[in-house]
Amino acid sequence: MKAWLRFLPTIVNKAIMSDAIKIYDIDFNILRAHINPRGGKMLVEISGPQENECIQYMEEQGIEVIPIMRVVQKDSEKCVDCGACVSLCPVKAICIQDDWGVEIDNQNCIGCGFCVNSCPTKAISLME
């Protein structure tokens, strides 16, 4: 599961994530993060047999967990399928289909934003 985790300033310095990993034996992959003394957020991928219990633990500790289905969104009205975004994707989550349309695989997307910055028509946006 991919999710945004939001941290309040009061819990930024606590070892909640490392405790969760140890207690629930989950796989935890940080895809994107911005955390400072005023709080922050992380885009993460969490998996494991006790995934739901781990999420409940994080919420009990004060972390807001926001599950997401899409990391980026393509506006089909604006997209001209130029492919400028394809070569910049470090995880190959964007490809050109047989019909020459640009397709984004949100399962593989890590939310780096390279595609957003490269799009000449501003057709791609990060889901925050």
Are residues 112 and 125 in contact, defined by beta-carbon separation less than 8 angstroms?
Answer: no
* pLDDT grade for 107, boundaries at 50, 70 and 90: confident
Task: Name residue, tokens 């946006």.
Answer: 125
C-alpha 114/C-alpha 72 separation (Å) is 11
Q: Pick the last residue of a domain from 68, 97, 117.
A: 68
Q: Give the tens place of pLDDT for each residue, 19-73.
A: 999 999 999 999 889 998 899 999 899 999 999 999 999 999 999 999 887 788 8
* H helix runs in the chain, sequence order: 16-24, 51-60, 114-118
**pTM above 0.85?**
no
Task: Say which DSSP state 9 is in.
Answer: G
CATH number for the domain harbouring residue 35:
3.30.70.260
Q: What's the structural domain count of the chain?
A: 2
Are residues 84 and 119 in contact, defined by beta-carbon separation less than 8 angstroms?
Answer: yes
CATH number for the domain harbouring residue 93:
3.30.70.20
